[in-house]
Amino acid sequence: MGHIKRAVLLAMLSSIVLTTGCFPTVENNMIEEIAPVIFWSINDGGEGKLKISTLVPPLIKEKKRLFTLRVDLLKQGGKEFNLKYYRELKTGQTRIVLINEELAKKGVISLINTLLTDPAISQRLYLVIVKGNFEDYIKNQLDKQEKLDYFLYRMFKHYEKNNQGEMSVVNLHQFKKKLYSPFSYPIMPVFKVSNENFTYEGTAFFRHDKLKATVKNMDDQIFQLIDNDHYLKLFPIPELSTTIGNVRSNVHMELDGKYSSISIKIDLNGRLEEYRGVKNILRNDELAILNKEIESYLEKQTTKLLKKMQEWKVDPLQLGKFSLTPFTKPISEKEWLNYWKKMEINVDYQLHIKPLTNVSR
C-alpha cells in the first residue's frame, strides 16, 4: 500500500510540473568553477562594435589577467569570455561599469537597457565615464596594487556612503530615473586615466543618453552644492585665497509663470578653514567684506555655469520639473528647451561662515 501511495504522489507532482510548464533548471556550478565579475570596461570598438574588458580572477590569490574582446553585443562578450577562461564568469557581483568618453558621446541607451534587464545585475552598480585608455592603466597597475578592482569599488562606495560632494557618484538606478524622466538629463562622474593614475576630473552632463559636456574644478564644486543635499568637506576658492570647510547648502528655486526667468537662492553654511589674503579677518568689518566678496564671486560663477548649460541645451539640475504643476498642461521637453535657452537667471548667495579661530585652549 505504501508503494502505491508514493507512486500516486509522484505522479501528481509530475502532472503539476507539466501542467504549469515550470520545469526546474539548475545551473551545475561548483564554487571553485566560477569567478564573479567586479567591473566591465566598455569602449567603442569601431564599425559598430564594442570592445569590452574585465579583470580575472577577482579577490582570490591567483595571477590576475585582463581579458579584452571586440564584439557586437554586450551579452556576446560575456559568453565569449567564458570560452577563454576555465572558470565561468558570473555578473551578479558587477559593481562598476566604466564607459569610454567617445562611446558615451554616441549614446549609451542600449548598454543601459541591457544592464537594466539583467536580473543578476544590481541597479546599485556604479556608472563611470573614462577619458583615456583604462585597459593600459589596469595592465600597468596589476603588479603594483593588489585587488585593484576592489579598490576602485571601495572608493566609490566611500564617497557615496559619506554623502560627500567631493565627486559625483551615480549608480544605474539613479541614471535610469533621470534618463526616463519627462526632462531627460542624467549625469555621470568623469575620470581621467593614464598609465599611472585614475583621477576624478568632473561631472558629465547628458542629453538623453548622449554625453554633451563635462564640467570640472570650480564649476563642478558649484554644481555639487546646488544639485543636491551633499556637503563639501573642503571648498577651496583660490581666486580669493580662501578655503571654506564643511560647507552645506540650502537651495530654493523659483520659476516665474511665463518661463522667462528663474531665481535661485543658495544659503551656504560652513567654517573658514584657511585665508592667505591681505585682510585682517580677526576684525569683524574686514571679515564682513571678505564674506561679501565670496558671495559676489559665487553668484558670478554660478550664473556663468547656468549660462553654459543653456548653450549646451542641457538641464542636469532638472529645473524643468518646476514647470509641472497640478493645474496646468505639462509642456514638452522641446518647449522647455526653447524657454530654457532664453531664460533670465538670477542667483543670490547668502553665506554664513564661522570665523577662522584657534579652537584649542
Does residue 183 surpass a pLDDT of 70?
Answer: yes
- Residue 257's pLDDT is 85
Q: What share of the chain is helix, strand, coil (3-state, %, to 5)?
A: 40, 30, 30
3-state secondary structure of 178: helix
- Residue 35's pLDDT is 61
3-state secondary structure of 84: coil
Least confident of 50-59, 170-179, 198-207, 313-322: 50-59
Does residue 3 surpass a pLDDT of 80?
Answer: no
Q: For the chain, give the mean pLDDT.
A: 85
Least confident of 128-132, 139-143, 222-226, 251-255: 139-143
Q: What is the pTM of this model?
A: 0.86
Question: What share of the chain in percent tops pLDDT 70?
Answer: 83
Does residue 343 surpass a pLDDT of 50?
Answer: yes
Mean pLDDT of 250-278: 93
Question: What share of the chain in percent tops pLDDT 90?
Answer: 55
- Residue 15's pLDDT is 47
- Residue 342's pLDDT is 95
Mean pLDDT of 272-291: 93
pLDDT greater at residue 145 or residue 247: 247
- Best mean pLDDT range from 31-35, 79-83, 221-225: 221-225
pLDDT band for position 8 (50/70/90)?
very low
Q: Where are the beta strands (DSSP E) in the chain?
A: 34-36, 39-46, 49-56, 65-71, 88-90, 96-100, 126-131, 187-193, 198-207, 210-216, 231-237, 242-255, 261-275, 344-354
Note whether 194 and 176 are within 8 A (CB): no
Mean pLDDT of 330-337: 90
Does residue 243 surpass a pLDDT of 50?
Answer: yes
Q: Are strands 261-275 and 344-354 parallel, antiparallel or unpaired?
A: parallel
- Residue 29's pLDDT is 54
- A 10 A CB-CB count for 20 gives 8
Adjacent-strand bridge partners of 344 = 261
pLDDT tens string 38-78: 889 999 999 889 999 988 765 556 777 888 888 888 888 77
Name the residue among 26, 10, 28 with its Cα closest to residue 18. 10
pLDDT band for position 25 (50/70/90)?
very low
How far apart are the C-alpha atoms of 118 and 122, rounded to whole Å? 8
- Residue 285's pLDDT is 93
Does residue 1 surpass a pLDDT of 60?
Answer: no
